[in-house]
Structure 1
Amino acid sequence: MKQMKRFSKMHYLDFYILIPYFILCVIGILMVYSSSSYQLLDSDLGTSSKAIKQTVYFLFSIICMSFVYRINLTVLRKPKMMYFILTMTFLSIIALPFIGTSVGGAKRWINLGVLLFQPSELVPLVIVLYLASNLAKTDTLVPFRFKDHKRSLLVAIFFMFFVALQPNIAGASMIFILVLVLFLSSGLSPWFMSMALIGFVAIKRLGTVLLLSIPTNWMPQKFGYLVTRFEVMQNPFIDPTGKGFQTSNAYYAMHNGGFWGLGLGNSIQKKGFLPAPDTDFIFAICIEELGLIFSLGILFLVFFMVAHLFLLAIRSKNLYYSYLYIGCGMLLLLQVSVNVGSLLGFIPMTGLTFPFISYGGSSLLILSITLGIALNARATEIRETSRQEGGIA
């Protein structure tokens, strides 16, 4: 009989996820310092104050990731725990009109003192946990039937609706695509997904035409921003000093950078020309200061993690873990795609941050927890496989 060896869970860390994560977070702290320094100096504040905060957020996120990594994933699969998480997430969303903090004209944040927490950023992760648990209920892949997943679909639509009401159309769209991909991976016909995506694109195109061609006085005031963003998407330079100010200056920043960049700290557009250079538009500052080549390297690190998670999902023999890998990978992929896509003008400006690079504790915390869950699933799967083989315990 083989001698059983015992290792702590830390022995099974997946460094293909962890190393890119650390590299991106360090780059993020440097870019937050560079992109925010001018505005802070202009406001008579310490030029490194935001970078210091981002470092604190990073350290706190590592602690939360470590905690999530060590918990037993079977606890998250229990119906009572899942319903508790869903309920708390829903309560945090409906409480926004009463306790929320308005930033940029939208009341999507809860001020926790140490950071501004955005509940809608937590919803996609909760949806991944819920759907992974429900879709893998029998631990065997069976033909997909909608009648078997009515509850899952209703929960997803429920959260989509309330996220869209904030208003956060980009967040609701992300949830829609995430649910569609998870359903597809569980056996939903590719034809259905193709038709759904065609319908989604058609509705988006029709919505663009309607918003730009008919009077919008009937639209609630808080949704009025949609018209402006669709107009700017059609022509980023439609009003360079007004409604197109953000997008046009993002284009100038990327043009200034060229292949090799102006050098760290030498951005021109961050000096009052580009709003929110340390959050929504930080990738434009990356291109301006570090150049296109280095910025593509940043994108490569994110896509490398996404590809690795998808590869783990394909190779996994455990259905629950496979859905977790797919869900976590899609969260990263959607966030970086939406951020860069809106920056380039392919989709309307959304306000989504660039993963691990943009300033802010809420996004970094949620994404770190997301990777912590993926790391936990990978470590647990290796240990279970080793036990079955009678080797390492």
Structure 2
Amino acid sequence: MKTLRKPSKFVYLDFYLLLPYLILCVIGILMVYSASSYQLLDSQLSPAHKAFKQTSYFIFSLVCLGFVYRINLAVLRKPAIIRLLLGLTFLSLFLLPVIGTSVGGAKRWLNLGILLFQPSELVPFILVLYLALAFSKTETVSPFSFQTYKKPIIVSVTLMFFVALQPNIAGASMIFILVLVLFLTSGLSPWFMSLALIGFVIAKRFGTMLLLSLPTEWLPQKFSYLVTRFEVMQNPFIDPMGKGFQTSNAYYAIHNGGFWGLGLGNSIQKKGFLPEPDTDFIFAICIEELGLIFSLGMLFLVFFMVARLLLLGIKANCLYYSYLYIGCGVLLLLQVSVNVGSLLGYIPMTGLTFPFISYGGSSLLILSLVLGVALNVRASELREKQRSRGESQ
């Protein structure tokens, strides 16, 4: 009697998630080439230098995505593995002031040779894995008990603290919102979480007023940039040749692009007006060159992935799968929302990249790992459903 061969895991790939990822990464390589070519030529370097590096980052990230997709999901449910990942993350954040590489006046990066890696970008991903495991241990929703949530709170707050010390207040705020959402989905009372969110908003509002009203001398030197960023958020054109140089020129880029854009490669603002047109402000260059309509299509692809992940999280029968889906979806949503929000002046400039489009290996690698986990969860879910149907027949 012949035994049925187990289907390849490739059969269970969710192309609703994979195809937008591939499309955005290819667009990202083209836009990195366009956004960086002028400055590279001005520096007497090859105009395709960063595009080639971005292509190598993409290939490496795709391989890592495939590896995470292929591994047995049970490995990520082992407490020892999660503790190891948390330990390595804590260690990298703790040693960052000593062994870190300074870029833009802040030691947030580790030089791994092939790329500059930012440990703070790893923190949300590791927290999603940790909190999904911690919250799925109980299959019943229970009222808030500090004893139940003590470890997740301590781990989350400690990681946020280390990220904020880098300094990376925006990254710490993003982690706070991600953790808040995961705590809410774990069964905490919406009233409790609403109070926490209201407290966060009030603290942000009064913190902004305090920063703008007091002299900057009382702030430590490494945190003095906060005042400037909040001032620019209040009025991007307050000092268009100084404090508001980046934000005001991002506005000009958006205005130049209109609905249909100036054409690929025809950006004006990338020619020395936007200091980092291929990273934080690449979406402004996308609008300037490709137009608002095409750029909204890029946003649609990201939000489609987010909606897909949240929908899968709502429909999942397993709590662990549900937390992973929702965590990955919220992480991606926060990344794009913070980048576009800071570009438009709704929140202070943050330094967060546009998902899959901005130049840099660290962000692309982490988001690829996030997607790899989500694809793995989906494949495991479909395989379990097929197995249960086969047993019922």
- Normalised by the length of structure 1, the TM-score is 0.97
SS in 1 for 2:109: strand
How many angstroms does 1:74 deviate by?
Answer: 1.4
Q: Report the counterpart of residue 202 of structure 2 in structure 1.
A: 202
SS in 1 for 2:110: strand
Cα deviation, 1:90-136, whole Å, max 9, x if unaligned, reads 11111111111111111100011110000000000000000000000
Q: Report the counterpart of residue 82 of structure 1 in structure 2.
A: 82
Q: Is the 8 A contact 1:25 1:356 kept in 2?
A: yes
How many angstroms does 1:144 deviate by?
Answer: 4.3
Q: Report the counterpart of residue 187 of structure 1 in structure 2.
A: 187
SS in 2 for 1:109: strand
Q: Report the counterpart of residue 303 of structure 2 in structure 1.
A: 303
How many angstroms does 1:139 deviate by?
Answer: 3.8
Query: Which amino acid letter does the alignment assign opposite residue 213 of structure 1?
Result: S
Mapped partners of 2:381, 2:141: distance in 1: 18
Aligned length: 391
Q: Cα RMSD over matched residues? A: 1.4
Q: Is the 8 A contact 1:282 1:357 kept in 2?
A: yes
Q: Report the counterpart of residue 16 of structure 1 in structure 2.
A: 16
Q: Is the 8 A contact 1:160 1:172 kept in 2?
A: yes
Matches within 5 A, 1:46-125: 46-125=46-125
Mapped partners of 1:107, 1:40: distance in 2: 25
How many angstroms does 1:33 deviate by?
Answer: 0.2
Mapped partners of 1:140, 1:85: distance in 2: 27
Cα deviation, 1:324-363, whole Å, max 9, x if unaligned, reads 0000001100000000000000000000000000000000
Cα deviation, 1:262-310, whole Å, max 9, x if unaligned, reads 0000000000001100000000000000000000000000000000000
SS in 2 for 1:267: coil
How many angstroms does 1:4 deviate by?
Answer: 5.1
Matches within 5 A, 1:325-344: 325-344=325-344
SS in 1 for 2:217: coil
Check if 1:382 corresponds to 2:386.
Answer: no
Q: Is the 8 A contact 1:139 1:320 kept in 2?
A: no
Mapped partners of 1:61, 1:259: distance in 2: 33
Q: Report the counterpart of residue 130 of structure 1 in structure 2.
A: 130
Q: Report the counterpart of residue 272 of structure 2 in structure 1.
A: 272
Mapped partners of 2:192, 2:255: distance in 1: 41
Mapped partners of 2:274, 2:112: distance in 1: 28
Cα deviation, 1:201-242, whole Å, max 9, x if unaligned, reads 111110111111112212110000000000000000000000
Mapped partners of 1:104, 1:297: distance in 2: 32
Mapped partners of 1:382, 1:138: distance in 2: 23
Query: Which amino acid letter does the alignment assign opposite residue 265 of structure 2?
Result: G
SS in 1 for 2:270: coil
Gaps of 5+ in 2: none
How many angstroms does 1:140 deviate by?
Answer: 4.2
Query: Which amino acid letter does the alignment assign opposite residue 135 of structure 2?
Result: L
How many angstroms does 1:142 deviate by?
Answer: 3.9
How many angstroms does 1:143 deviate by?
Answer: 4.0
Matches within 5 A, 1:227-238: 227-238=227-238
Mapped partners of 1:43, 1:115: distance in 2: 21
Q: Is the 8 A contact 2:255 2:288 kept in 1?
A: yes
Mapped partners of 2:249, 2:146: distance in 1: 46
Q: Is the 8 A contact 1:237 1:248 kept in 2?
A: yes
Check if 1:371 corresponds to 2:371.
Answer: yes
Check if 1:160 corresponds to 2:160.
Answer: yes
Query: Which amino acid letter does the alignment assign opposite residue 57 of structure 2?
Result: Y
How many angstroms does 1:82 deviate by?
Answer: 1.1
Moved more, 95-104 or 43-52: 95-104
Percent identity, please: 76
Q: Report the counterpart of residue 247 of structure 2 in structure 1.
A: 247
Check if 1:42 corresponds to 2:42.
Answer: yes
Q: Report the counterpart of residue 289 of structure 1 in structure 2.
A: 289
SS in 2 for 1:272: coil
Mapped partners of 2:333, 2:4: distance in 1: 39
How many angstroms does 1:391 deviate by?
Answer: 6.2
Q: Report the counterpart of residue 151 of structure 1 in structure 2.
A: 151
Q: Report the counterpart of residue 174 of structure 1 in structure 2.
A: 174
Q: Is the 8 A contact 2:143 2:189 kept in 1?
A: no
Query: Which amino acid letter does the alignment assign opposite residue 170 of structure 1?
Result: A
Check if 1:345 corresponds to 2:345.
Answer: yes
- Normalised by the length of structure 2, the TM-score is 0.97
Mapped partners of 1:201, 1:295: distance in 2: 30
Cα deviation, 1:64-110, whole Å, max 9, x if unaligned, reads 00000011121112111111110001111111111111111111000
Q: Is the 8 A contact 2:90 2:159 kept in 1?
A: yes
Q: Is the 8 A contact 1:68 1:369 kept in 2?
A: yes
How many angstroms does 1:313 deviate by?
Answer: 0.4
Gaps of 5+ in 1: none
Query: Which amino acid letter does the alignment assign opposite residue 204 of structure 1?
Result: K
Mapped partners of 2:384, 2:138: distance in 1: 18
Q: Is the 8 A contact 2:310 2:326 kept in 1?
A: yes
